[in-house]
Amino acid sequence: MGEDTSLAIQVALVARVAELTQEVVAGRVYDDVPAAAERIADTGADFPYISIAEGQLVPIDEECFDRSTTFINLNVWSRAIGYPEVKRIAGALRIGLHEQDLAIAGHVLDRMRVENITFSRDPDGVTRRARIDLMIETQPAG
């Protein structure tokens, strides 16, 4: 039995995002964000970090092919003053992900697009966020 498409995409995406943001984010890419003290102990800082958020998998089963469209949200979180840090990180992710290749175990990438980036201030008044909406179309390998 092959690996679930959405899980295979998440594994590949986390590795790519960590690689693209290593200088600034230093490996703080999570789907379950640990407490600030744990982030500091593991990486030397608590911000900025990236979280893998909501997603949706839409199977496209046709007689002659089996494809899927997966939607994934990435969130960039920063406590730097203003929006420059989240915008720099989001920009690097857009360049590194939009219409680029991604090796996904057991699957072939047809297309990966950054559909939208939204910038916002967290209700705490200090934290800034960039929400990146990705669309990834795949089909099973072989």
Using one digit for the tens of pLDDT, what is the confidence trace for 115-142?
999 999 999 999 999 999 999 999 988 7
pLDDT at 1 over 50: no
pLDDT at 96 over 50: yes
Dihedral sign, CA of 13, 16, 19, 20? negative
pTM comes to 0.91
In DSSP terms, 52 is beta-bridged to 74
Tell me the pLDDT of the chain averaged across its residues: 93
How many Å apart are CA 104 and CA 95, to the nearest integer? 19
Question: How many domains, in total, are found in the chain?
Answer: 1
In DSSP terms, 113 is beta-bridged to 135
Average the pLDDT over 29-56 and give the result: 94
> Which residues span the domain enclosing 39?
5-140
How far, in Å, are 39, 59, 66, 78, 126 from residue 81 at the CA level?
Answer: 20, 41, 46, 8, 8
CATH number at residue 117: 3.30.2000.30
The order of strands in the sheet holding 29-30 is 29-30, 49-61, 66-78, 128-140, 107-121
